[in-house]
């Protein structure tokens, strides 16, 4: 069995601190960018996929649902993302709903941008490790898989024990014993 050298321990500690800092900075950027997205959506009378493709955060959500990402949706998503960032500070609890799982994925995307921008020496596989520990499961990942397009309405999948409903209108519904901010309901 490998013994952990002081140098290896110090490097791991530094990488953990860098990741924590990147998560904090990514949280700020994510919320700022969601305000920008919301502001841009409010000035449009009609939205189409191109409008969403030109947003900072909403463009990172499952693209096949882009026509559903209007100003009201952006407000709800902003609220659920802000709730998630508070959970990061107060003591992590797993996401409260599908939308919060998606917000966490957007946060990880922003951490990757920060990692590249500042050439941070984060541990290999940090994202997979965080996804494994911070997400309840990987169900929301199916929303990004083109092969699964349309699965949200599949009766078998939506009644499968343990699988949250994946229709856009259900993304803000709380999981079992979780609670979501009142605004998103």
Instruction: Count CB atoms within 10 A of the CB of residue 147.
Output: 6
With 0-12 / 13-18 / 19 or more C-beta atoms within 10 angstroms meaning exposed / middle / buried, residue 105 is: buried
Is the predicted pLDDT of residue 147 greater than 50, yes or no?
A: no
Structure confidence by residue, pLDDT tens digits, 55-112: 999 999 999 899 899 999 999 999 999 999 999 999 988 999 999 999 999 999 999 9
Six-digit token pair at 61? 């959500």
Model's pTM, two decimal places? 0.88
Give the model's pLDDT for residue 74: 96
Assigned token pair, 160: 């499968």
With pLDDT > 90 as the criterion, what percentage of the chain qualifies?
A: 66
Could you state, in order of their start, the residue ranges of all structural domains in the chain? Answer: 6-184
Structural tokens at position 82: 């802000």
Task: Please give the share of the chain, as a percent, with pLDDT higher than 70.
Answer: 90
Q: Residue 78 has which token pair? A: 């902003």
């Amino acid at each position: 069995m490998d013994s952990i050298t002081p140098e290896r321990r110090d490097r791991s500690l530094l990488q953990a601190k860098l990741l924590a800092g990147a998560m904090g900075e990514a949280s700020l950027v994510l919320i700022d960018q969601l305000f920008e997205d919301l502001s841009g959506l409010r000035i449009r009378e009609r939205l189409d996929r191109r409008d969403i493709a030109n947003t900072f955060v909403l463009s990172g959500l499952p693209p096949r649902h882009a026509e559903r990402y209007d100003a009201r949706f952006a407000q709800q998503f902003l609220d659920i993302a802000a709730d998630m960032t508070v959970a990061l500070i107060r003591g992590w609890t797993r996401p409260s709903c599908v939308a919060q799982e998606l917000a966490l994925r957007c946060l990880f995307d922003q951490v990757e941008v920060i990692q590249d921008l500042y050439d941070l020496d984060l541990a290999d596989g940090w994202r997979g490790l965080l996804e494994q520990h911070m997400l309840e499961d990987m169900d929301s990942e199916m929303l990004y898989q083109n092969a699964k397009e349309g699965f949200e309405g599949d009766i078998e999948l939506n009644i499968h024990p343990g699988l949250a409903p994946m229709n856009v209108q259900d993304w803000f519904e709380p999981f079992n014993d979780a609670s979501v901010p009142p605004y998103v309901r």
